Amino acid sequence: MSRLEKPLDRHRFFRLKMRARRRTESLVLRGLNWLFEKTSDYGRGVGRAFGCWLGHWLIASFLL
């Protein structure tokens, strides 16, 4: 049955599971889970994750 699942459906359910899990976690894990959702949409938004990574490097290079 697992072979019949579509990857997009599986990823959609993974995102829903991670959002539901956020309610039961500690404050630190809840914050990391929220950050993972906002920066990359749980692995779906690669461009957004790359933009955050690039912004991180630009801010760090400016501070140094």
Instruction: Reply yes or no on whether the pLDDT at 12 is more than 80.
Output: yes
Domain ranges of the chain: 2-63
**Four-CA torsion 59, 15, 44, 31, nearest 10 degrees:** 0
Instruction: Reply yes or no on whether the pLDDT at 4 is more than 80.
Output: no
Longest C-alpha distance within the chain, in Å?
53
| H-type alpha helices, the chain | 7-21, 27-40, 46-63
Q: State residue 2's pLDDT score.
A: 64
Distance CA(11)–CA(3), nearest Å, equals 14
Answer whether 0.75 is exceeded by the pTM: no
Q: What are the pLDDT digits (tens) for 15-53?
A: 888 888 888 888 888 888 888 888 887 777 778 878 888
